[in-house]
Amino acid sequence: MEEKNIYKDAIDKWGETAQLDQIVEEMAELTLAISKYKRQFNNSLLDYQKQGVMENLYTEIADVKLMIEEMEFMFGVNNVQKAYDKQLKKFKMELYTEEK
């Protein structure tokens, strides 16, 4: 049986514009989750609240990971991979090049 492409199905069902809006929303949710994660060290949250902050962070990372895969489908896996390789190389250069 042919494996379903969930990203094609999502775009077919809800449309590309709605999916792009969803991607922007998910990235904003991750931004918020990171802020809350950072803030938890500055105040005295109870353990169950800290757990909630962490679970929210994991969820939002997962949402964005899914959305990134959907964007790879939308804009071309090979195009993104080429840019990724280039950016990874640049990142490593910056990381490992000694400052003079």
Give the residues lining the site for Mg ion (CB under 5 A): 26, 29, 60, 63
In the complex, minimum distance from the CB of residue 15 to Mg ion, in angstroms, rounded to a whole number: 19
* Residue among 12, 28, 31 nearest 70 (CA): 12
Nearer to Mg ion among residue 55 and residue 85 (C-beta): 55
Give me the least distance between CB of 90 and Mg ion, in Å please.
29
**What is d(CA 33, CA 28) in angstroms, rounded to the nearest whole number?**
9
Instruction: Give Cα 42 distance to the centre of its chain.
Output: 25
User: Which residue is closest to Mg ion by CB?
Assistant: 63
